[in-house]
Amino acid sequence: MDIVDALEARRGTTCVVGAGGKKTTMATLAGRLDSAVVTATVRIPIFDSWVERVVVTDDPVSAVESADERPLGVVPERERSDRYRGYDRETVDELARHADSLLVKADGARMREFKAPDDREPRIPAAADTVVPIASAHVVGEPLGDERVHRVDRVAALTGREPGETLGPADVAAVLASRDGGRKGVPEDATVVPLINMVDDDALEATARDIAAELLARADVPRVVLAEMRADEPLVGVVEG
């Protein structure tokens, strides 16, 4: 099994949410798929360096049908020098009908490594086949605070931790497994495949496996994927449900 199959991203629409490596996960998948299209329903940092071409357009379907380059990025607007805007979910639903493999960034995390969504997110399109909620293994043993966590108050509510308390494997699992956390807004017929990223040594692999065991006890998911998305071979392990 490779990272694409582990995340069930070979075909259809794959949405990434959470924190701790959404962009690197999308880049890794885009580089391994035969015909990837990359887009977002939220703001997305400039990603021209890991696709063949980015088309800024109000008509992404026509862009996908007319362009030969893959992976291809489509976005509606360059909002600032460092980011694009995303499409509304209905536009992405339509685009999904015309893309063999569609990768969608569906929430933001402000460069943190762990998060829980607020009332306005995630923005997962109805066409999603797979949703990948991500967290970094590096947050275990760290305090629940703004340095590593986006929306500290939401994570506190889901874990029962107070700000400043140390995060453990069960806390990461609780957020990823929750219908108000990593599984929030997932369409009924979509598959959820949680990803523990930044597993870059043996100690972190043991930590990630502890998270996975806790997560599988809390949520009906087929597997938890352990990875280091910055590595040449990113798949570290798979813990089956």
Query: Domain residues for 231?
Result: 3-240
Res 241: pLDDT: 86
The predicted-structure confidence for 70-129, as pLDDT tens digits, reads as follows 999 999 999 989 999 999 999 999 999 999 999 999 999 889 999 999 999 999 999 999
The predicted-structure confidence for 4-60, as pLDDT tens digits, reads as follows 999 999 999 999 999 999 999 999 999 999 999 999 999 999 999 999 999 999 999
Which domain CATH number covers 208? 3.40.50
What phi, psi does 102 have (nearest 5°)? -110, 125
Q: How far apart are alpha carbons 210 and 129 in whole angstroms?
A: 27
Judge if pTM exceeds 0.95.
Answer: yes
Tell me how many domains the chain contains. Answer: 1
- 126-163 burial, b at 16+ Cβ within 10 Å, e below that, comes to ebbbbbbbbbbbbbbeebbeeebbbbbebbbebbebee
C-alpha separations of 98 from 11, 55, 76, 176 in Å: 12, 16, 17, 30
The predicted-structure confidence for 223-232, as pLDDT tens digits, reads as follows 999 999 999 9
Give me the helices (H) in the chain, please. 3-6, 22-32, 60-66, 89-96, 152-159, 169-177, 202-218
